[in-house]
Chain A
Amino acid sequence: MELYEYNLHDLLEKLNSKEISSKEIFESCKKRIDSCEDKIHAFITRTEDFAKSQLEENENPAGIFAGVPTVIKDNLCTKGIKTTAASKILGEWKPPYDATAWKYLREAGAVLMGKANMDEFAMGNTCGNSAFGATHNPNDISRVPGGSSGGSAAAVSAGYVPFSLGSDTGGSIRQPASYCGVYGLKPTYGMVSRYGLISYGSSLDQIGPFARTVEDLQLVMSVIAKYDPMDSSCFREKTHDFTHSENVSIKGKKIALVKEFQDFTLDAPIAEAMNKIKKILEDEGAVITEVSLPVVSRYAVACYYALAMSEAHTNLERYDGVRYGYTVNDASSLKEMFERVRSYGFGSEVKSRIIAGTCLTEPSRCEEYYVAATKVRTLIAQEFSRAFGEADFILQPVTPSMPPKIGEVDDDEMKGYEADLYTLPVNLAGLPGLSFFTGYSENLPVGLQLIGPRWSDADLLNAGVIIERHTGSPKIPDLN
């Protein structure tokens, strides 16, 4: 077995017992990347030189991730290292500071192998909407890896690194995790500091980990789920224990299916996976129940996109070419400068969403759309909180379909948005959601999702550990 194939937990064991060195791990991962990156294209920027310098400087030899390679999504700021959010508009921008989540990893000794590809400003669910080209699914390179954190998911799936970070605004961790056959956690809103995460929909965005085992997600969470005064929406009072425990149980736990979702069609492998996991949970002593989410099922998609775009267009107002990023030097007026920078710098999906967000928040339409959406969001949050009065977790798909072929994307954006119905309500209510591996269907991994009430992240991961014992962990596909 090559070193790159080890999961995080095993790698740390071997590192701690000095059986292997971090240099060897680095070399193995680098070799893996070198041999696969042409096919996968998981990176916008490779940072092996920086990783090497980190290994040489040995910032924190006692850190729990000392010498472990990782990858982070390119919307997380890295001091002195180009950060693009997959947009031309950021040009060659090198942030003067580190995102807090990355800083926590770096301080724990993790070394950075690259900045992962993504949909531009995290707007998309294929990872094909990047100014730097599409990422391919390591399980089938003709298919999309999902998005927007497709590069981060693919990097873990392909064995580049044992874990990575992504961000999830409406499913951007859970959907690519499912498509690529890895585990991904979208933590409770406020669990991980957003400082240094280039904002898309600020009230929805949350940073989370990808890994090839649930236990590895627990390890990463124990490092990144820490209070940060730089993020005013970050948790303050609660402390969270993500330590792995062997004797976890879900005996007697109520796990609900959503009544309204059962009328919707699912691709056969996903429907089969639902049955398989239900059975596993019952075998473990859980009680399968039902909750009703009528507002979520009919209004969540519209509500989500209305709010995401309203917030996004204000988050994107800062890109004007004056202080950083792409710019022009020969504009004769300010207006011309801003127009040329923004019209060239943003991709078409981003432009559509900016226009939509501007439109919804215009004084004449604000009440009808933006304010209405914030009220629908209240109803959605209330609906979930009622549901979690009746059940401990909700089991549901991540997506209704298996990963599409690259380029086979529907021309009707609204249909594409509807496909996010299973992931985005979780962001609207600020809940944690675990995307977990259930097995393969003709070499394509099939994932499902378990969601819980706010701050139940640790319990959710423990439930994931139990499921993983039955399903086994995903394998790294052979790409050579």
Chain B
Amino acid sequence: MPELTFTPVIGIEIHIRLKTDSKIFCSCSTNTDAPANTNICPVCLGLPGSLPRLNNQVVEQGILTGLALNCGISPKSLFFRKSYFYPDLPKGHQVTQCDFPITTEGYIEVHDDNGNLKKIRVNHLHLEEDVGSLHHSASDGRLEGADTSYVDYNRCGTPLAEIVSEPDVASAREAVEYVTTLRRRVIYSGASDVELEKGMMRFDANVSMKCSDGRWGRKVEVKNMNSFKALERAIEFEIKRQKKLMLNGEEVLQETRHWNDAKGVTSPSRVKEFYRKFIVEPDLPPLIITQEWVDRMKAKMPEMPDVKANRYVSEWGIPREVADVITDDKNLAAYFEACVAAGANPVRASHWIRTEVLRVLNENQLKISDFKMKPETLAALVSRVDDGKISTTQGKEVFDYMFANNSDIDETVSKLGITEGGVVGNALNDIIQSVIKANPDVLEEIKSGKDKKGKKLKFLQGLVMKETKGQAKPQEVAEAIAEAVK
């Protein structure tokens, strides 16, 4: 009997906080770090009689996110009320676009396990309001024995985009590449900063298994993943768990499971699945988006990071790994491209950025936006090293000096006593002559033919190199000394 094989079928739902100053339906600030319950008003607290007002910027960020995911934009979309009782939801329903979303289908490309590009289809993206945050500790920070949960509504009503994929993801690794690529694209579009540590991106995954004997396992919804790592581990865990059940001939139950990051396991959700129903939100007329508006947003869209990386590889021959690192940060890629535009060789420039620039940024905990060295300056340095005017070792010294002193390249070169293009010709001969003069005994030994192994010549070369501060080419020095001692 052939061995059974299993294919995971995975769909991913992502919630991303969109970048706006005010909330989706009211004018409260979206600053969730403010003291608890200070950014609240009748609207986001769902007080009787209050009505929602849609924020223009949320729509624009939604369009940008949609475009970043290759989605079409719906000319008309609607809001709905999604009902469930929970204290983080002050109206008893969430206002969301579930059935009539702002975008149509889209996709993102990732690499499959063979390194080929494949499309993960995005079913749609919709806009919705976030809920408040719950703290399950006592107010004095005591966790155990607290019989109370605390509610802060500062986050309630901050704008979210929910992105629902088709079940096209086939492994935990693909899932991570999908969310990583998606995150980068959204950051590039300017729709969100997607700061992971601030909980601006949250994941749910639907995992099921297809067996080579034709059996299909039921769909399991896994919730509560807040990092790439958690997403990867949770999916891996589920795949293993479901495979084992199916191998044993057991049923995979259709259920919602909760990822416990500390224990590294999923377990059946203790919260009974919320009862959900939808009616049209009668307080918000249809959202109309004209083609002209979409075109305006399209004009704002920068080249997407994965497209950019592919271009670096195919047009400039930059190694894939370096291209990925540079395009990970939109500003870093822009810096790199400015270097190239200023005349630097793309491959050399990419290596300088990959090694030197990222090193100093890292060491000093800086962002590229804080990096003072102009791209033209780095380009000039790269070119001078490239042209042999400055050696690689000197180049690094110049780089460090310019970074530390925020100085100009010519100023730095003269400050460090570097002679551009190295010590050659008369200057080199002068040094050789003075070295010989200072070591008449060595010259004598050479001339008398005692230096059979060329040890004395090497000794003179060393002294000359030292005098030129390494700015002469060893080959030239050797030849010139050989000439001088004849």
Contacts and interface: CB of A to CB of B under 8 A. Distances in A.
Within the complex, are A and B direct neighbours (CB within 8 Å)? yes
Interface of A: 75-77, 83, 85, 90, 93, 95-97, 99, 194-199, 201-203, 229-233, 310-311, 314, 316-320, 322-324, 334, 338, 358, 361-363, 366, 370, 374
Contact of B51 (A83, A85, A232): A232
B56 to A, nearest CB: 12
Contact of B48 (A90, A230, A231): A90
Given A90-B48, A198-B49, A199-B49, A366 B277 contact: yes
A77 B45 contact: no
Contacts of B45: 323
Nearest to B283: A202
A374 B87 contact: no
5 contacts: A76-B49, A203-B282, A317-B93, A322-B87, A322-B151
Nearest to A332: B147
Nearest to A321: B87
B48 A83 contact: yes
A95 B54 contact: no
A370 B85 contact: no
Contact of B49 (A197, A320, A323, A374): A197
B284 interface: yes
Contacts of A322: 87, 90, 151
Given A317-B92, A362-B277, A363-B277, A194 B51 contact: yes
Given A77-B49, A230-B51, A232-B52, 15 more contacts: A77-B48, A95-B42, A96-B47, A97-B42, A195-B51, A198-B49, A232-B283, A317-B91, A317-B93, A318-B46, A318-B48, A323-B90, A334-B86, A334-B87, A361-B279
Contacts of A334: 86-87
A324 B47 contact: yes
A320 B93 CA distance: 12
Contacts of A197: 49
Given A311-B279, A361-B277, A374-B280, A231 B51 contact: yes
Nearest to A314: B81
B53 interface: yes
Contacts of A320: 85, 87, 92
B279 A196 contact: no
A230 B83 CA distance: 23
Q: Which of B45, B46, B51, B90 has the most CB of A within 10 A?
A: B51
Contacts of B90: 318, 322-323
A232 B50 CA distance: 11
Nearest to A203: B282
A99 B49 contact: yes
Contacts, number: 94
A194 B285 CA distance: 14
A317 B87 contact: no
* Tier of interface size on chain B: 20 to 34
A112 to B, nearest CB: 16
A361 B49 contact: no
Most A-side CB within 10 Å, residue of B45, B47, B49, B53: B49
A317 B48 contact: no
Nearest to B86: A334
Contacts of B282: 201-203, 233, 311
Which has the most chain B C-beta neighbours within 10 Å: A229, A230, A358, A374? A230
A424 to B, nearest CB: 16
Nearest to B53: A232
B49 A310 contact: no
A76 B277 CA distance: 28
Nearest to B91: A318
A195 B85 contact: no
Nearest to A337: B87
B42 A318 contact: no
Contact of A196 (B46, B49, B81, B278): B49
Nearest to A339: B85
Leading 8 A-B pairs by shortest Cβ distance? A317-B92, A202-B282, A203-B282, A196-B49, A198-B48, A77-B49, A361-B277, A318-B46
A317 B53 contact: no
Contacts of A229: 53
Interface string B104-121: 000000000000000000
A75 to B, nearest CB: 8
Contacts of B285: 232-233
Contacts of B50: 97, 195-196
B278 A361 contact: yes
A310 B92 contact: no
Interface in B264-278: 276-278
A73 to B, nearest CB: 12
A232 B287 CA distance: 11
A366 B280 CA distance: 12
Given A232-B54, A233-B285, A314 B279 contact: yes
A370 B53 CA distance: 25
A80 B464 CA distance: 91
Given A318-B91, A320-B85, A324-B47, A230 B53 contact: yes
A83 B50 CA distance: 14
Contact of B92 (A85, A95, A318, A366): A318
A195 B83 contact: no
A206 B279 CA distance: 20
A201 B283 CA distance: 10
Nearest to A317: B92
A20 to B, nearest CB: 35
Contacts of B54: 232
Nearest to B276: A363
A45 B162 CA distance: 45
A356 to B, nearest CB: 13
Interface in B44-89: 45-54, 81, 83, 85-87
Nearest to B48: A198
B232 to A, nearest CB: 33
Contacts of B283: 199, 202, 232-233
A58 B301 CA distance: 55
A198 B93 CA distance: 16
Contacts of A323: 45, 47, 90
Interface string B413-436: 000000000000000000000000
A120 to B, nearest CB: 13
Contact of A195 (B49, B93, B278, B279): B49
A84 to B, nearest CB: 10
A362 B47 CA distance: 25
B274 to A, nearest CB: 12
B328 to A, nearest CB: 40
Nearest to A197: B49
Given A317-B83, A320-B85, A338-B85, A310 B279 contact: yes
Contacts of A230: 51, 53
A366 B90 CA distance: 24
Contacts of A310: 279
Contact of A95 (B47, B81, B91): B47
Nearest to B153: A323
Interface in B136-180: 151
A317 B275 CA distance: 13
